[in-house]
Structure 1
């Protein structure tokens, strides 16, 4: 689950809420990768399905029935979410299981936190 690209939760973790201070150009470029990953309806649904799946994890075989898309297409979307730092993955036998990365979701929530939320 390395974030060597500088994107994902690592990019978000360094950012104060947008209402507290303006975001710099480099940070914005990193954060936009996460936001673009979620801005696709299939990927947003996949995140929701993984989060709400029993145990908070799912493999492609669990997710495929919810879509009229091929397995390679679903796998591509899961890879985008993984590369953005939103999903972790673990190979078990022939299956890859995906889990939401709580730290990435917390960082995204913090970034978008409204003014006075901790008042």
Structure 2
């Protein structure tokens, strides 16, 4: 992947895109959107995204997320990093804890990608 693709945020990658039901994606658009879909295509990451979204104020401390899985803390942190790096989650450090919040714009843009298909 080229460096310019890695510097794009999901919002920038999707704002230009019409829903796939109206017109086909260009190669460039598909290459920019695929990492977002890949990030949520893993069951642990999809659950993490759901847990953060359903937590109070759509924000959760990493300490609140560890107990939901039978995985080590470093593994959970890796999955959260993938979600953050893809732009689906925001993060902020408060003291020794890291808090994750939903990037609602990125999720809304992913939903727009498929449009009203029915």
Q: Deviations over 1:24-69 (max 9, x none)?
A: 0011011000000000000000000000011210111000000011
Q: Which runs of 4+ in 1 moved over 3 A?
A: none
Find the aligned partners of 1:71 and 1:24 in 2 and give their Cα distance.
39
Matches of residues 10-29 of structure 1 in structure 2 within 5 Å? 10-29=12-31
Aligned to 1:105: 107
| Aligned match of 1:86 | 88
TM-score, length-normalised on structure 1?
0.89
Q: Any idea what the Cα deviations from partners look like across 1:69-88, whole Å, max 9, x if unmatched?
A: 11111011001001111000
Work out which structure has the larger RCO, using CA pairs closer than 8 Å and 6 or more positions apart in sequence. Answer: 1
- The 5-angstrom pairing of residues 1-119 of structure 1 reads 5-115=7-117
The runs of 5 or more residues in structure 2 that have no matched partner are none
Aligned residue pairs total: 114
Contact 1:13/1:107 (8 A) holds in 2: yes
Higher helix fraction (1 or 2):
2
